[in-house]
Amino acid sequence: MRTALVPRSLLALLCLLMLTATAALSAQRDWQFDSIDGGTLSLDDWAGQPVLVVNTASRCGFTPQYDGLQALYDTYRDRGFAVLAVPSQDFKQELASDEQVKDFCALNFDLDLPMTTITPVLGDGAHPFYRWLADTEGWQPSWNFNKVLIAPDGSVAGTWGSATVPESPEITSRIEALLPRG
C-alpha cells in the first residue's frame, strides 16, 4: 500500500511543478510599458502572438529603420503580429521628451505601431522586460535598433543587432514561422 502512495505523491508534485512553470511563463509576458499615447501597453495584450520589440532612438544612424518596422507591422498585423518600439536614451541619441519623440515619428515616419515612452533598456534601471532578457537570455541591446522577437508562447524566438534591417529574410522568416498559416 505504501508503494501506491509514492506514485501519487510524485504525480501531485509533477502537476504542481507544471502549474508553477505555466504561471511563470504567463507572468513573463505581463510586462507593462507606459504608452507614448497615454495609458499602458502590456506584452500580455499580445499573448499568443509574435511580437518584435525594438529599442529605438530618433537621432541614430539606424533611425530610418522605422520605415521597415512600420512596413513589417503593416504586412503582418492582420495575421496577429505586433511591433513594439521602445525609445531609449541609454545610448544618448534620443530626443529630450516623449512629446518630441512622438512628433518626430509622426512627422518623419507616419508611424502607427505601438510605442512606449522613453524607457531605459540597460543596467539596473532597465525596464523589467529588458532585465529579464539579460538575466534569462544573456542578451541586452548593444546599440539602438536592436531587435528581439518574442514567440507566441512568451519565449525568445530570435535577437538581432542594429545592422539587421527589419525586413531582412532572417527576421521575416522567423516571423512567418510563428504566424498562423493564412
Q: Which residue carries 498585423 as its cell?
A: 77
Q: Which residue carries 539579460 as its cell?
A: 134
CA dist 156 and 25 (Å) reads 12
Q: Would residue 60 show up in a list of annotated catalytic residues for this protein?
A: yes
What stretches of the chain adopt beta strand conformation (E)? 32-34, 40-42, 51-56, 82-87, 147-150, 156-160
CA dist 3 and 12 (Å) reads 15
Amino acid identity, residue 166?
Answer: P
Angle between helices 65-76 and 98-109 (to 10 degrees): 70
Contact 135, 129 (CB under 8 A): no
Contact 166, 69 (CB under 8 A): yes
**Per annotation, catalytic residue among 60, 156, 157, 179:** 60
Q: Active-site residues: which are they? A: 60
